[in-house]
Amino acid sequence: MVNLTIDGTQVTVPKSFTIYQAAEQIGIKIPVLCYAKKLLPFGACRVCLVEVEQMKGRLIPSCTTPVTEGMVVTTSSDEILKVRKTVLEFLLVNHVIECPVCDKGGECELQDLTYELEVVTNRFVGEKFDHPTDESNPFIERNMNRCVLCGRCVRVCDEIVSYGSYSFVERGFETKIATAFDRGLDCEFCGQCVSMCPVGALLPRPFKFKARPWQLKHVDSVCGYCGNGCTVTFGVKDNQVQTIRFNDKNGVNDGNLCIRGRFGYSYVNSDQRLTRPLVRKNGELVEADWEEALTAVAEGMNRGKGTGIISGARLSNEEFLLLKEVAAAAGTTNLDHSGGECYKGLTEGVQQVLGLSASTGTFPQVEDADVILSIRSDFYETHPVFGMVVNQAVKRAGAKLLVVSDKKGKFTKLPNAETLLGKPGTEVNILNAICAVLLESGKAVTEGVAGLDELKQSLTDYAPARVAEQTGVSVEAIEAAAEQLAAAEKGAILLGYGLSYTANSRELGIAAANLALLSGLADQDEAGLYVCGEKANSQGAIDLGILPGESGLGVQAMLDAAARGSLGALYIVGEDPLTSFPDGAKVEAALKGAEFVVVQDLFLSPTAQAADVVLPAASFAEKDGTFTNAERRIQRLRAGIKSPGEALTDFAIFASLLEKLGAAASAATPGETFAGLGRLNDAYAGIDLNAIGPQGVVWGGEHLQPKVRNLVPVSGREPLTTRYQLITGSALYHSGTTTTHAKGPLEAVPEPYVELSREDAAELQLAEGDQLRIKGNGAEIRLKAKIGARLPKGVLFAPNHFPGTGLNRLYKGEAAVVVELNK
Amino acid sequence: MSETAEKAAEQEVDLTACNEILDQYQDMQGALMPVLQAIQDHYGYIPEETVHLTADRLNIYASQIYGVLTFYAQFHLEPRGKYIVRVCMGTACHVKGAGRLGDRVKELLGITHAETTEDVKFTCEYVACIGACGMAPVIMVNDATYGSMSVQKLNEVIEKYQKMD
């Protein structure tokens, strides 16, 4: 610790602090423009100059100068104010003054500083900038005439997002921020740069001329897309979410968001939303009132053949609890969520080995991890903001990143990243081989671990040399990975699960958990194994047991039973299985076979179109409750707006339905229901809803120790050897099918595509955008070609978000589908 | 983009040489400047494709490379003539009538400062002092210096290069 005096006040701070941070700690606010707390110090704007007695003769930039023992700092004096004022005068020489029409007006840092320092005249005259405005994309407007060259956008895009869109170009007076070759912005449009810009140089286009900042009501909630669980702050006016506000003051993500969180909110305001219940009459879905619709639902569920309930994973915890009560009232244990197969890795695999069905650590613990192993999915695409955490660990803390995957992505390009690029579906083989090396080299942690001999026995099939031959990953890479994981003091293994990653999920859960045990990662005090659900409340669904009850059917079994005609009713909540589940034909047969189908959703999805009753539900922005994210963090959702028309929250619908079924909800409001969650899961007991602050509450504490230590032998797969194989997954711009209703992501990636390697494209003489016919599993679909460097030869990738492509006519849940490819 | 640059962009650039240059520097830290210099030596300028290739292989953002390229006057993003005619506009040359030399180049070749002839044979550049004030006014064509210039002598020099390939 270091002692220093600032404006006469003694302060003791860590020696890594800068003068600015030390002053901030005692409530002294030094003005800044280029400084941002989540970025590295830069020192570009010279607004934060202070006097230091030991460094007389010049003014010192407080945001870049580290504190030293005995320092005596003055943050405000006549001379300092004069210099700060001059700095502003310089900036205002060429900054265009168009505050009346600038969306930043009212929250512009330059405007505020000018006002605060009373810069009413300018002693200097010069040319104003006259750069054209970049409006080449639908999200971010760049008006470089308003830029003050603080470099925050350049730095956030590099340090945190690792995309590198911007750079300072030219020199001297001509210096400006530009993209490569000064073109229009073409990036992943996370909008991080917009959130960082102190002035109106970077603005969210969807929000242009919508409202002045002070007219907006701010409501803190949780993003409804993926399991990352980022805090989002709605900017609400006229009962519409006008924008997502930048907020790094509270919340869990330092104000970081991806394109979905920042620009994907618009589906909430969509005019395609369902506003009234629909009931099928004479073959047509027609509008009805709630009374009629719910009576029909209750009747349909009581017809005797039994009901199956399939839920999505974007319901709140409280709604899950009520859903379980609905299941009980309907007398069924056929309850399950999402793809049914996709989270088996968690509930069966990891559970079997570690006795846990959740991540052991929290996201921030990964920030200073020394070794990170990312399995299968590129977290930049499934959980982009967690991806940013990993990025910071690698770039700032020098973490070693290992990626086991079947395609390249942003992770593989990070410095120090080693990619173990295997053939699709062979991740288990690779993890087994790493385990084999650990055991062979004697570096494995085996104390107190059961099942060692059986595992050793099974791993004889996974000698590195053999696995290398199978998968295409080199022996050296496998050995190096094992060595690094064994040497890790604070390691993290990341495993994503979701609808598009259903194959081998149980096996992969086991293999990853085995590795976590043998490498000692599971027994660290922090970090460890991260199992990250695809949807906003995937973890809540597992915690609260939205799973088949005793002798109950899982999703796949329900679909089979319905198709056979042996299940009377299907009640599908917040999910569009026809589009998003593997094996669409099976879903179609189930919807036809079931006597009665109810769909509860925001939109008239393809599944809803096949229903007998459609119930209009509320979006995440319209409800109170809690979500549990992939690091076990329980966070509060807050309603920002009212639902359109007669749409109701799932909570309200379940409560009414319970009445129709002759039961009653155990609590009247989500708030009261929260206390009841402890009945379903001990970890939720004793948490006070009102104590859940902006940081949420991590159930079980910041770190979970394994409850058991059972190594479990697990088999990998032989890779396909056909010329072409198709894999599916998530694309960055989308999340499930919901984003296809959101203007933001939809404008970035408006249509489905199939990605393939340059080599394959050359062989087929394909150009970007050419139509391709893909045949497999007895079906054929057509997709546009996207040519890139991410995929190995012979591997095709098609994202799974789009209805209408019929991807799931081909994809039946395999790791990779054998396909034929034709122009 | 100038017309010459547009034409260049239409032609595909052979990246073999760029790949060879990158092979040499692939594992060296902080090698961007020598890489760019070598690329410019080979191609005569920095074609855009080579920037993307360099970005990809050295794992540096293309935007960053563009920042470097625009910061240093030594790098050129558009094709340059085989012969670079540098007309010195330093004080001594200016006094001795360098302006008229510039005008004459424009008359002879149709190009002025920072322009390239359509056949990509000549590029004209007005430069500040090239350190040969004793021979003012001075022009340079590539590495050859021509001192005590007059409009008449300039005609001869340009004619000489026009006759060469």
Query: Chain A: nearest CA to B47, how far in angstroms?
Result: 11
Residues of chain A neighbouring B77 (CB-CB closer than 8 A): 181
Average pLDDT score over chain A: 93
Rounded to an integer, the average pLDDT of A116-144 is: 93
Please provide residue A74's backbone torsions phi and psi, each rounded to the nearest 5 degrees.
Answer: -115, 125
- Nearest-by-CA chain B residue for A789: B56
Please check whether residue A101 lies inside any domain of the structure: no
Reported ipTM: 0.89
Please provide residue B85's backbone torsions phi and psi, each rounded to the nearest 5 degrees.
Answer: -95, 110
Tally the C-alpha atoms within 13 A of residue B40's C-alpha that lie toward its C-beta.
Answer: 18
Q: Do B61 and A181 touch (CB under 8 A)?
A: no
pLDDT tens sequence across B76-114: 999 989 999 999 999 999 999 999 999 999 999 999 998
- Shared-domain flag, residues A47 and A23: yes
Position A788 confidence tier, pLDDT thresholds 50, 70, 90: confident
Which pLDDT value is given to residue A737? 74
Q: Among A624, A375, A407, A612, which residue's Cα sits nearest to residue A495?
A: A375
Mutation choice for B interface testing from A149, A158, A168 by most B CBs within 10 A: A168
Rounded to an integer, the average pLDDT of A12-34 is: 96
Residues of chain B neighbouring A163 (CB-CB closer than 8 A): 61
- Shared-domain flag, residues A351 and A320: no
- CATH code for the domain in which residue A45 is found: 3.10.20.740
Q: Among A277, A291, A279, A218, which residue's Cα sits nearest to residue A251?
A: A218
- Shared-domain flag, residues A547 and A612: yes
Lowest mean pLDDT segment, chosen from A413-417, A572-576, A712-716, B146-150:
A413-417
Nearest to A164 among B48, B64, B70 (CB): B64
Which pLDDT value is given to residue A379? 81
Residue type, A183: R
Higher pLDDT, B114 or A279: A279
CA distances from A599 to A557, A563, A736, B94 (A): 19, 17, 17, 83
Position A630 confidence tier, pLDDT thresholds 50, 70, 90: very high
Cβ of residue B31 closer than 8 Å to a chain A Cβ: no
3-state secondary structure of A764: coil
Query: Chain A: nearest CA to B37, how far in angstroms?
Result: 18
- Shared-domain flag, residues A558 and A629: yes
Nearest to B63 among A171, A179, A415 (CB): A179
Gap between the Cα atoms of A706 and A365, Å rounded: 17
| Other Cβ atoms closer than 10 A to A453 | 10
C-beta separation of A509 from A346 below 8 A: yes
A21 Cβ contact partners less than 8 Å away, ≥ 6 residues apart: A13
Tally the C-alpha atoms within 13 A of residue A730's C-alpha that lie toward its C-beta.
Answer: 30
3-state secondary structure of B153: helix
Please check whether residue A320 lies inside any domain of the structure: yes
pLDDT tens sequence across A226-244: 999 999 999 999 999 999 9
Q: Of A628, A644, A665, which one is at a domain's C-terminal end?
A: A665
- Number of structural domains in chain A: 4
CA distances from B165 to A593, A700, B81, B121, B155 (A): 81, 79, 12, 8, 17
Position B5 confidence tier, pLDDT thresholds 50, 70, 90: low
Q: Do B66 and A182 touch (CB under 8 A)?
A: yes
Please check whether residue A154 lies inside any domain of the structure: no
- Shared-domain flag, residues A329 and A360: no
- Shared-domain flag, residues A365 and A501: yes
Q: Do B64 and A167 touch (CB under 8 A)?
A: yes
- Shared-domain flag, residues A316 and A417: no
- Nearest-by-CA chain B residue for A185: B63
Cβ of residue B6 closer than 8 Å to a chain A Cβ: no
44-103 of B, contacting A, C-beta below 8 A: 48, 51, 55-56, 59, 61-67, 70-71, 77
Q: Which domain holds residue A524?
A: 344-534
Which residues share a beta bridge with A307? A569
Nearest to B67 among A163, A167, A789 (CB): A167
Gap between the Cα atoms of A393 and A371, Å rounded: 9
Nearest to B66 among A158, A181, A789 (CB): A181
- pLDDT at position A814 over 80: yes
Element (H, E) at B22: helix B16-25
Q: Of A480, A512, A534, which one is at a domain's C-terminal end?
A: A534
- CATH code for the domain in which residue A434 is found: 3.40.228.10
Q: Do B66 and A180 touch (CB under 8 A)?
A: yes
- Shared-domain flag, residues A545 and A614: yes
Rounded to an integer, the average pLDDT of B54-82 is: 93
* DSSP 8-state class, residue A345: I
Gap between the Cα atoms of A333 and B152, Å rounded: 101
**Cα R_g (chain B), whole angstroms:** 18
Please check whether residue A292 lies inside any domain of the structure: yes
- pLDDT at position A470 over 60: yes
pLDDT tens sequence across A690-709: 999 999 999 999 999 999 99
Q: Tally DSSP H helices, then E strands, for chain A.
A: 28, 33
Q: Do A415 and B61 touch (CB under 8 A)?
A: no
- Shared-domain flag, residues A454 and A354: yes
Which pLDDT value is given to residue A589? 96
- pLDDT at position A646 over 60: yes
- CATH code for the domain in which residue A661 is found: 3.40.50.740
Q: Of A59, A76, A93, which one is at a domain's C-terminal end?
A: A76
pLDDT tens sequence across A571-610: 999 999 998 888 999 999 999 999 999 999 999 999 999 9
Rounded to an integer, the average pLDDT of A20-28 is: 96
Position A515 confidence tier, pLDDT thresholds 50, 70, 90: very high
Please check whether residue A706 lies inside any domain of the structure: no
Structure token pair of residue A72: 């005596």
Which pLDDT value is given to residue B2? 56
Most confident of A21-30, A502-511, A757-766: A21-30
Rounded to an integer, the average pLDDT of A773-783 is: 91
Gap between the Cα atoms of A637 and A634, Å rounded: 10
Nearest to A168 among B51, B65, B67 (CB): B67
pLDDT tens sequence across A393-450: 999 999 999 999 998 888 988 988 999 999 999 999 999 999 999 999 999 999 999 9
- pLDDT at position B6 over 90: no
- pLDDT at position A518 over 80: yes
- Shared-domain flag, residues A476 and A581: no
Of chain A, the percentage scoring pLDDT greater than 70 comes to 100
Which pLDDT value is given to residue A122? 93
Please provide residue A743's backbone torsions phi and psi, each rounded to the nearest 5 degrees.
Answer: -55, -45
B124 marked as part of a ligand binding site:
no
pLDDT tens sequence across A174-215: 999 999 999 999 999 999 999 999 999 999 999 999 999 999
Please check whether residue A364 lies inside any domain of the structure: yes
- Shared-domain flag, residues A316 and A363: no
Which pLDDT value is given to residue A507? 93
Position B9 confidence tier, pLDDT thresholds 50, 70, 90: low
Structure token pair of residue A254: 């330092």
Please check whether residue A191 lies inside any domain of the structure: no
Which pLDDT value is given to residue A751? 83
Gap between the Cα atoms of A571 and A309, Å rounded: 5
Residues of chain B neighbouring A164 (CB-CB closer than 8 A): 61-64
Of chain A, the percentage scoring pLDDT greater than 90 comes to 83
Residues of chain B neighbouring A181 (CB-CB closer than 8 A): 48, 51, 62, 66, 77
Q: Do A169 and B66 touch (CB under 8 A)?
A: yes
DSSP codes, B80-113: --SEEEEEE-SHHHHHTTHHHHHHHHHHHHS--T
- pLDDT at position A744 over 80: no
C-beta separation of A204 from A194 below 8 A: yes
Please check whether residue A582 lies inside any domain of the structure: yes
- Shared-domain flag, residues A364 and A462: yes
Nearest to B67 among A163, A169, A413 (CB): A169
